[in-house]
Structure 1
Amino acid sequence: MTYGLSDKIRSRIRPQDDWNLRRCPHRVNPRRSSTRSPYLQLLRRTAADRAAFKEASIPLKGIEMGNLLRTSLLILLLAEATTLPAQQAGAPVTIRAAQVINGRGGVQRNVVVTVRGSKIERVAAAAGKVSYDLGSMTLLPGFIDTHVHIGWHFDTNDRWVDGGEAPDQAALYGAENAYVTLMAGFTTVQSVGAPSDKPLRDAIARGVLPGPRILTSLDQMADARLTPQQLREYVRKKKSEGADLIKIFASLSIREGGTPTLSQEQLDAACGEARVQGLRAMIHAQSAESMIRAARARCTAVEHGVLATEEALTVLAQNGVWFDPNIGLNFPNYFEYKPRFVGLGNYTEESRW
């Protein structure tokens, strides 16, 4: 079952699309469905239709969970990500549910959740009149995905698009991905990152497009030739452009052994300047050495780390650096497709992955 989509839309999505949506919502290929995507259809509707959809899309209704919760329903409390009209933002909304999964490892029963604007104010025992009574349903806060590329997509020929596309088409795909991601239950995502993330982020924040709250790096710094001073300037530039964080490549691909690409001095400069500017620094690091350098630079987080060692993980912990591993995604992917793609580009036998 596709989370959050109406029966009408759900019936138009083939089983393989449904699985892709649940597994990786921001990479689903809507062109594989039997009809055009629901979001592109939405863009063609009249203003009145869009306003009606906007109100109806506040997902305060049950979503079947299949094998996980056959007898209960999941309700997504979309707080900041929902497109509530501005005039309603100051008024509290109260929601009663039979069960609330509070996100802290507990389940509370027969309670009322009070939401004001973008904040969940309190969860208390049920009493009095409420805005929404969900009966026997279960209420759950929206999910957060810390690493997405909200604009990535396939074209009409089922090929991944990496530039060269008309801006209007790219914008439509980004808006479509945002809608699908929200309907999959993700109310905040961190997109790392592309310049096109900014107008999409801002449109969602204004309430004119349905989608999750987006935090974006606006770019990915992959130029290993930059000096420490140039890296500091890069961080300041991204800050002035409105970036929410900095994304830096500190190693090659795992297909190339994850060799470090930035020196300790370079990472010290980049992550140090990010702290000065009040920005988080996310580091793409595949090898143990690149992870250790990022940790010693006290960067905020290390992504991937497929070739991590016990030493690298220990140094991360000692320096208070977050680790966002993707081992369960990368290894099966490369093992599965290696026979098909080995010999193309940097996909070599020596890479081992």
Structure 2
Amino acid sequence: MCHKFFLFFLFLMSAPSLLAQQTYIHAGQLFDGTGDDIRENVTIIISDQTINAIEDGFLEPGSDTNLIDLSNQTVLPGLIDLHVHLEGETNPNRYIETFTMNAEERALRSVMFAKRTLDAGFTTVRDLGGTGANTALRDAIMKGYVSGPRIISVGKSLATTGGHADPTNGSKRELMGQPGPTEGVVNGVADAREAVRQRYKNGADHIKITATGGVLSVAKSGQNPQFMDDELRAIVETANDYDMHVAAHAHGKEGMMRAVLAGVKTIEHGTYMDEEVMQAMVDRNTYYVPTILAGDFVAEKAEIDGYFPDLVRPKAREIGPLIQETFGKAYRYGVPIAFGTDSGVSPHGNNAKEFELMVEAGMTELEAILSSVKTGAEVLGLQDQIGSIEPGKHADIIAVGQNPLEDITALQNVVFVMKGGEVVRL
């Protein structure tokens, strides 16, 4: 037995790939996400998926240590986007795809969008609504079948009949049917509870509701409230039972206020937010996820004939340009802000443009970055795992050529990405 053990030990020693691999990253500049300073010339020590230590100076690697030289780059934590839709991407044929694209094709296409997002430096995203392929994509990435960011999925968003996430809006009557809680359509308290439990059964991590009308749905109003107070309370209470938080798409004030008072975790878009809503969000520590990029994109495309259906075009013209202005007001008021883009409305991989738009509206570069890495991790309840470069956390690390605290557009040109200790872009 001893002889066999000795031979096995020799085998392990001769096969370093089977042992824990250590990696050194030489970072010329390091913003670790914990404060406001930049450290110069440090070594990040990584074992497998985890950050072990950060040491001053460029340590000399041993013969069994991988070295990644980022001595001419600025190194940051992997970015977090709290609002993406990886199953699709807005295009002039988007609405017909509902009837022409098979579920398998949609799922396979989402792999491409996931890879673009990861390559752009976003190592964690919250996917806020799809068909359920988003949840399957989460699992495929987790199991290593495909490459993409760590996904927190809501599965299918919840709506009321005719609401922003009713999947049959715009269909002829013969195709509308009567979707219910299984399909994410809610009418009444019992439906609300059942719909949340169905999302849990389907494997969703959290819940997304469409508290008001929306821009891109084929329905007249982009801002009317679409849930009653008792329905909202039932959704939030039931979600809480399953340790799921609730994100609320909302443009109009009334629906937004109802959602905040019901206890949702985040308000997405928030276009017609006023100071009464802002104060309610401050009082309840409700986060605002602005998605300025999406507003800019739809306003631009609304000027192209035929890009959007006639019912959508005026909403895109009216609501889109207002989001950046609302963001500036909410920032100055002191509303808690977390980073999110609504990518899928705009092209995947362009997520970092949102940072530039936030800074244009008055936020500092430091605050914009922290809204992604620090606040994003807090919203997800994963602050002990991601969001900063610290010992014990996942090795989610990116690098850019310039210091983004001085030029926020540097984040639009990521040159290195590591997710969970694995180099995915170099």
TM range (shorter): 0.5 to 0.7
Tell me how far apart the structure 1 counterparts of residues 316 and 60 of structure 2 sit (CA, whole Å): 67
- Name stretches of at least 5 consecutive residues in structure 2 with no aligned partner: 1-16, 162-185, 320-426
Tell me how far apart the structure 2 counterparts of residues 124 and 138 of structure 1 sit (CA, whole Å): 16
Q: Is the 8 A contact 2:302 2:316 kept in 1?
A: no
Q: Is the 8 A contact 1:306 1:327 kept in 2?
A: no
1:124 to 43, 49, 55: 55
Corresponding residue SS for 2:94: coil
Tell me how far apart the structure 2 counterparts of residues 248 and 269 of structure 1 sit (CA, whole Å): 12
Structure 1 residues 277 and 88, CA, compared in 2 at 3 Å: closer, same or farther?
farther
Corresponding residue SS for 1:140: strand
Q: What residue is the counterpart of 1:144 in the other structure?
A: 80
Corresponding residue SS for 2:159: coil
Which residue identity lines up with residue 170 of structure 1 in the other structure?
R
* Equivalences, count: 265
By relative contact order (CA 8 Å, sep 6+), the higher-ranking structure is 2
CA deviation vs aligned residue, 1:132-153 (integer Å, no higher than 9, x gap): 1413333222211111110103
Q: Does 1:268 align with 2:233?
A: yes
Which residue identity lines up with residue 28 of structure 2 in the other structure?
A
Q: Does 1:163 align with 2:94?
A: no
Counterpart mapping for 1:1-353 below 5 A: 90-104=20-34, 105-126=36-57, 127-129=59-61, 131-134=66-69, 135-153=71-89, 159-160=93-94, 162-164=97-99, 165-194=101-130, 195-224=132-161, 225-253=186-214, 256-327=221-292, 329-330=294-295, 333-334=298-299, 337-338=302-303, 340=305, 344-348=310-314, 352-353=318-319
Tell me how far apart the structure 2 counterparts of residues 117 and 297 of structure 1 sit (CA, whole Å): 42
Corresponding residue SS for 2:234: helix
- Name stretches of at least 5 consecutive residues in structure 1 with no aligned partner: 1-86
What is the CA-CA distance between 1:203 and the residue it aligns to? 1.2
| Identity across matched positions, percent | 26
Which residue identity lines up with residue 189 of structure 1 in the other structure?
V
What is the CA-CA distance between 1:346 and the residue it aligns to? 4.8
Q: Is the 8 A contact 2:298 2:317 kept in 1?
A: no
What RMSD over aligned residues (CA atoms) do the two structures have, in Å? Answer: 2.7
CA deviation vs aligned residue, 1:77-132 (integer Å, no higher than 9, x gap): xxxxxxxxxx7795443212111121233211111112344433432213342521
Q: Is the 8 A contact 2:23 2:47 kept in 1?
A: yes
Q: Is the 8 A contact 2:42 2:54 kept in 1?
A: yes
What is the CA-CA distance between 1:251 and the residue it aligns to? 0.5
Structure 1 residues 112 and 349, CA, compared in 2 at 3 Å: closer, same or farther?
closer
Q: Is the 8 A contact 2:135 2:154 kept in 1?
A: no
What is the CA-CA distance between 1:193 and the residue it aligns to? 1.8
Q: Is the 8 A contact 2:239 2:245 kept in 1?
A: yes
Tell me how far apart the structure 2 counterparts of residues 171 and 89 of structure 1 sit (CA, whole Å): 35
Q: What residue is the counterpart of 2:343 in the other structure?
A: none
What is the CA-CA distance between 1:263 and the residue it aligns to? 1.3
Structure 1 residues 346 and 97, CA, compared in 2 at 3 Å: closer, same or farther?
closer
The TM-score normalised by the length of structure 1 is: 0.67
CA deviation vs aligned residue, 1:141-182 (integer Å, no higher than 9, x gap): 221111111010368xx6226423123322221111111111
Tell me how far apart the structure 2 counterparts of residues 349 and 303 of structure 1 sit (CA, whole Å): 17
The TM-score normalised by the length of structure 2 is: 0.57
Structure 1 residues 286 and 332, CA, compared in 2 at 3 Å: closer, same or farther?
same
With 334-343 and 104-113 compared, the bigger mean Cα shift is at: 334-343
Structure 1 residues 326 and 349, CA, compared in 2 at 3 Å: closer, same or farther?
closer
Structure 1 residues 116 and 219, CA, compared in 2 at 3 Å: closer, same or farther?
farther
Structure 1 residues 208 and 89, CA, compared in 2 at 3 Å: closer, same or farther?
farther
Tell me how far apart the structure 2 counterparts of residues 141 and 275 of structure 1 sit (CA, whole Å): 29
Corresponding residue SS for 1:201: helix
With 192-201 and 304-313 compared, the bigger mean Cα shift is at: 192-201
CA deviation vs aligned residue, 1:33-67 (integer Å, no higher than 9, x gap): xxxxxxxxxxxxxxxxxxxxxxxxxxxxxxxxxxx
Which residue identity lines up with residue 112 of structure 2 in the other structure?
E
Q: Is the 8 A contact 2:222 2:315 kept in 1?
A: no
Corresponding residue SS for 2:250: strand
Structure 1 residues 92 and 348, CA, compared in 2 at 3 Å: closer, same or farther?
same
Q: Is the 8 A contact 1:298 1:320 kept in 2?
A: no
Q: Is the 8 A contact 1:343 1:349 kept in 2?
A: no
